[in-house]
Structure 1
Amino acid sequence: MSIHKQVIFATEQQVKNIGFTVYSPISGKITPLINHPQTIFSSGILGCGLAFEVTSHKIVAPFDGIVEQIKLGGSEVYFKAKNGIKLLIALEIDQEYFPLPGLAIKKQEAQQIKAGEPIIHFDLRKIPVPIYGCVTILNHQKLGAIYYSQSNITAGSDVLFKITSKKR
C-alpha cells in the first residue's frame, strides 16, 4: 500500500536492469509511508517514499551526489544526486534524546558523497524507544515509477529504490 501510486513493489529480478539505483541510507524494517508518526510524511505532502522502523546507528549516502542540508541535530539529511533526484532522510526521535547520543557528523553540507559513505553516526543503544524514519523523494513529480523490492534493508548495501524516468 502506498500513498503515491508511483511507489511500486516489484521483485529484485523484475527491476534488476532498469532505472537509477538508490541504496538504502538507513537500516530497518520497511513499512508504508502512511505508517510514519508525523502527518507531514504519512500524508505524502513532502513527497513519496517509504517509512522504516530503524535498526541501525547510521545514515549513509544513498547515491553519488552531495549533502544539501543537515538539520534538526542530524535527524534530517537532504541529499541531491548528480542526476537531480532529491531525497530526504528523516528520523522521528523523541526530543528527550536530543542531542542524539554519540552524534558524529561525518560529512558537511555541500560536500560531495559516494554511495555507501557514512554521513551521520549516533548511539542507538542509548535511545530505548523505537526510532521511526523515512526516505522521501522530494521531486518525485519529475520521475517515473519508483520500485522497491525488500521488506528489511541494510544501509549502504541493499537497494532501496530503482527510479525510472518519466515517460514523455
Structure 2
Amino acid sequence: MVVRAPLSGKLVPLSEVPDPVFAQGMVGHGVALEPPTSEHSVTVVAPVSGRMLKVMPHAFVVQAPSGAGVLVHLGIDTVKLEGNGFTVRVAKGDQVHAGDPLMDVDLTVVREAGLSACCPVVVLDAAEDAITARSQDEDVMAGQDLFAVSL
C-alpha cells in the first residue's frame, strides 16, 4: 500500500516530531511533514482511498480497503484550538479517493497560538520495519507518494 502526502511540506522523521506519542511510534509508524512557513493555509487531501473512520477538526483516520488505518494529525496539540482554523469537508463514514480534499487548515491560526504545524502521517499499529519512506528532509507536494507500507 502506498500512502500519499496529505499536504505539501518537508519530510521529517517521525522521531523528530515534537510530541513523544508520535516520536516514539506509540500509535504507529510513518513520517511527518512540516508545511513551509510561507504557507498561510493548506488544503489537506486523502492520503489513501478508503472510508473515513474518524474525523475531528485537527485529525482524521482513513481506513484503506486492506483494513489499515492511516492517521493524519494536523499540527501538534492543535486539539487545544477546538476547531478554530480548521474547515472539515467530510464526515465519518464517507468514502474518499486518494487526493480528495478533506480539510482546510489556517496555518496562521496554528502558529499564532504558538503550536507546531508539523503533521504526522502514520499507519496505526504498523511496525517500524513495515514503512519504506522517501529521503529525509525532502520537499514533497500534496498527493505525491510519501511512503510504502508492507502489511
TM-score of the two chains, using structure 2 as the length reference: 0.81
Match 1:147 to one of 113, 132, 141: 132
Structure 1: give runs of 5+ residues left out of the alignment. 1-19
User: How many pairs were matched up?
Assistant: 141
Offset of residue 126 of structure 1: 3.9
Superposition pairs of residues 48-63 of structure 1, within 5 angstroms: 48-55=29-36, 57-63=42-48
For the 8 Å contact 2:6–2:142, the answer to whether it is kept is yes
Q: Pick from 94, 97, 101 the counterpart of residue 111 of structure 1.
A: 94
Match in the other structure for 2:150:
164
Identify the match of residue 66 of structure 1 among 51, 54, 69: 51
| TM-superposed deviation, 1:136 | 1.1
The letter for the 1-side match of 2:83 is: P
Deviations 1:21-76 (A, max 9, x none): 221112211111111111111111111111221235122111110111113xx111
User: Any idea what the Cα deviations from partners look like across 1:119-165, whole Å, max 9, x if unmatched?
Assistant: 11122244445411101111314x97321224211122x10112224
- Runs (4 or more) in structure 1 with deviation over 6 Å come to none
1:70-105 deviation line (CA, Å, top 9, x unaligned): 13xx1111111011121111121556744332x321
Larger Rg: 1
Task: Judge conservation of contact 1:27–1:54 (CA < 8 Å) in 2.
Answer: yes
Find the counterpart in structure 1 of residue 59 from structure 2.
76
Please tell me the residue identity of whatever aligns with 2:21: I
Unpaired segments of 5 or more residues in structure 2?
A: none
Give the one of 124, 129, 133 matched to 2:107. Answer: 124
Q: Which moved more, 1:88-97 or 1:36-45?
A: 88-97
Alignment of 1:5-24 (within 5 A): 20-24=1-5
